[in-house]
């Protein structure tokens, strides 16, 4: 069942040509999604998957260009996010629904509900890139062309047993002269949700600091390749990745909070648009998205990932990221492995003037790259 859904985004209306709807995905969710290019039936689908702490709304600046080019563009709030319902927000809830294979099932169900047998173009940003990569790996017959953003996919894990590390990376980070911790493991703790949802500065200010700190607007974002997965190398990254051991994420980003003048000058995320995120996360909390991190850091579903050991993505794939995005280097070697072994590679583009939020910071450049990449696919209409 699909329903039109009047999403009240307040003073930040959706761009012209984008509407909001709900659909049951056959996997326990009523999925909220934004869509564009819906006026004409039979258009090929472009499916866009957001990351953390984002929403379907994160694609608002890219969707019109893709629709104008002939796509039916669909961007859902994924499991645990936004206005999608049917997921359990409890820290102690079963994590299995948040595992990557089930997240792929979520988006397959949405496509089916919308009457699409395939997605001519699948794009994923941040954690959405992980879902997109696995979707293309598992079902290349459905997901015909793949664009990953900000988070490289190194391929499925090796099935061969690996010797345990002599010493934990977390012990090594804690033992540095400036004790540190990895943000993904912090996000996996029971306290992380409340640290952000009930932070002293409020969710709106927290998100302002978080988005700013990881964007090209923060002058300290000058990423470079790290030599390896060691505490000393990881600690060269900004504190939103390798945090001071005694700080919360809210305290971390508060140190880099932009001033009133910088906020007023932020054209890619004005306060009225940031308020959309703030309202959703004030209402839902962050735990739905944090469950994804817990699946990763706990290694709970690694064995089922090993079913695809030795396989690579057959779907033509590309990668794009902001030139100021540390995400491309946060897992040393992943970018190189992705390009060399993980996929049928079509190109890598680093976009100037963008940090981690590339599709929001530089939407025109991202749209142009996506359309150039899609132009070789069978699904793009001529003209």
**350-370 pLDDT, tens digit each:** 999 999 999 999 999 999 999
Residues 125 and 142 in one domain: yes
H helix count then E strand count, the chain: 16, 11
Residue 382 lies in a domain: no
Give the closest residue to 283 by CA, choosing from 84, 12, 25, 57.
Answer: 84
Mean pLDDT of 199-216: 98
pLDDT at 162: 74
Question: If pLDDT is split at 50, 70 and 90, which confidence band does 2 have?
Answer: low
Residues 185 and 74 in one domain: no
The answer, yes or no, to whether residue 262 has pLDDT greater than 50, is yes
Extract the tokens encoding 147.
Answer: 């664009």
**Buried/exposed code over 273-312 (b: 16+ C-beta within 10 A; e: otherwise):** bbbbbbbbbeebbbbbbbbbbbbbeeeebeeebeebeeeb
Residues 144 and 203 in one domain: no
Residue 381 lies in a domain: no
Residues 43 and 112 in one domain: yes
Task: Give the list of residues 6+ apart from residue 335 with CB closer than 8 angstroms, or none.
Answer: 152, 319, 328, 329, 348
Tell me the CATH number at 350.
Answer: 3.40.50.1820
Q: What is the DSSP letter of 27?
A: S
The pLDDT tens digits of the residues spanning 33-76 come to 999 999 999 999 999 999 999 999 999 999 999 999 999 999 99
Question: If pLDDT is split at 50, 70 and 90, which confidence band does 89 have?
Answer: very high
Helix (H) or strand (E) holding 76: strand 72-76
Residues 198 and 278 in one domain: yes
* Lowest-confidence pick of 99-103, 161-165, 187-191, 227-231: 161-165
Distance CA 268, CA 284 (A): 24
Strand ranges inside 184-312, DSSP E: 242-244
Residues 239 and 356 in one domain: no
Residue 293 · residue 184 · CB < 8 Å: yes
Distance CA 202, CA 286 (A): 13
Residue 379 lies in a domain: no
pLDDT at 379: 40
pLDDT at 106: 98
Q: What is the DSSP letter of 13?
A: P
Task: State the virtual CA torsion across 83, 102, 185, 51 in degrees, nearest 10.
Answer: -50
The answer, yes or no, to whether residue 382 has pLDDT greater than 60, is no
Give the closest residue to 378 by CA, choosing from 125, 73, 70.
Answer: 70
Residues 155 and 25 in one domain: yes
Residue 286 lies in a domain: yes
Task: State the virtual CA torsion across 77, 181, 231, 242 in degrees, nearest 10.
Answer: 50
Residues 13 and 42 in one domain: yes
Residues 14 and 70 in one domain: yes
Extract the tokens encoding 155.
Answer: 């391929």
Domain count, the chain: 2
pTM of the model: 0.95
Q: Which of 278, 294, 310 is the last residue of a domain?
A: 294
> What are the percentages of helix, strand and coil residues in the chain, rounded to 5?
40, 15, 45
pLDDT at 6: 54
Question: If pLDDT is split at 50, 70 and 90, which confidence band does 381 have?
Answer: very low
Distance CA 286, CA 307 (A): 31
Cα separation values, 329 from 15, 105, 148, 267, Å: 33, 29, 14, 27
Question: If pLDDT is split at 50, 70 and 90, which confidence band does 377 have?
Answer: low
Mean pLDDT of the chain: 94
Residues 154 and 173 in one domain: no
Q: Name the residue range of residue 341's domain.
A: 2-160+302-374
The dihedrals phi and psi of 59, each to the nearest 5 degrees, come to: -100, 5
Residues 29 and 126 in one domain: yes
Distance CA 181, CA 231 (A): 9
Task: Give the list of residues 6+ apart from residue 295 with CB closer than 8 angstroms, or none.
Answer: 95, 98, 99, 100, 301
Q: Which of 254, 276, 294 is the last residue of a domain?
A: 294
The pLDDT tens digits of the residues spanning 164-196 come to 777 899 999 999 999 999 999 999 999 999 999
Task: State the virtual CA torsion across 71, 124, 192, 254 in degrees, nearest 10.
Answer: -80
Question: What percentage of residues in the chain have a pLDDT greater than 70?
Answer: 95
Residue 60 lies in a domain: yes
Residues 231 and 176 in one domain: yes
Q: Which of 270, 294, 318 is the last residue of a domain?
A: 294
The pLDDT tens digits of the residues spanning 276-333 come to 999 999 999 999 999 999 999 999 999 999 999 999 999 999 999 999 999 999 999 9
**What's the start-to-end Cα distance of the chain, in Å?**
33
Residue 35 · residue 23 · CB < 8 Å: no
């Amino acid at each position: 069942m699909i329903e039109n859904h009047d999403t009240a985004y307040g003073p930040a209306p959706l761009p012209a040509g984008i509407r909001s709807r709900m659909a049951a995905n056959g996997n326990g969710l009523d999925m909220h999604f934004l869509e564009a290019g819906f006026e004409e039936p039979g258009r090929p689908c472009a499916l866009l998957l957001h990351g953390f702490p984002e929403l379907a709304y994160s694609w608002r600046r890219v969707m019109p260009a893709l629709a104008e080019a002939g796509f039916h563009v669909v961007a859902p709030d994924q499991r645990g996010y936004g206005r999608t319902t049917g997921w359990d927000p409890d820290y102690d809830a079963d994590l299995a629904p948040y595992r990557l294979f089930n997240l792929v099932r979520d988006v397959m169900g949405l496509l089916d509900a919308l009457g699409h047998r395939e997605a001519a173009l699948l794009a994923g940003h941040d954690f959405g890139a992980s879902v997109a990569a696995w979707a293309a790996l598992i079902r290349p017959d459905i997901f015909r062309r793949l664009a990953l953003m900000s988070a490289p996919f190194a391929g499925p894990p090796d099935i061969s047993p690996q010797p345990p590390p002599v010493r934990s990376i977390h012990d090594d980070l804690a033992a540095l002269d400036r004790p540190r911790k990895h943000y993904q493991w912090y996000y996996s703790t029971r306290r992380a949700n409340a640290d952000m949802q009930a932070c002293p500065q409020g969710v709106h200010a927290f998100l302002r600091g978080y988005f700013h700190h990881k964007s090209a607007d923060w002058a300290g974002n000058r990423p470079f390749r790290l030599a390896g997965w060691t505490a000393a190398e990881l600690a060269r990254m900004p504190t939103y990745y390798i945090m001071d051991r005694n700080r919360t994420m809210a305290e971390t980003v508060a140190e880099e909070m932009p001033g009133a003048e910088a906020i007023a000058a932020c054209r890619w995320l004005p306060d009225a648009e940031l308020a959309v995120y703030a309202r959703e996360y004030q209402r839902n909390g962050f735990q739905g998205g944090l469950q994804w991190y817990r699946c990763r850091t706990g290694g709970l579903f690694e064995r089922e990932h090993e079913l695809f050991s030795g396989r690579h993505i057959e779907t033509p794939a590309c990668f794009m990221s902001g030139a100021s995005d540390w995400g491309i280097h946060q897992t040393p070697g992943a970018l190189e492995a992705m390009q060399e072994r993980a996929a049928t590679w079509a190109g890598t583009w680093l976009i100037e003037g963008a940090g981690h939020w590339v599709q929001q910071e530089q939407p025109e450049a991202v749209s142009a790259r996506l359309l150039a990449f899609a132009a070789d696919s069978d699904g793009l209409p001529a003209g």
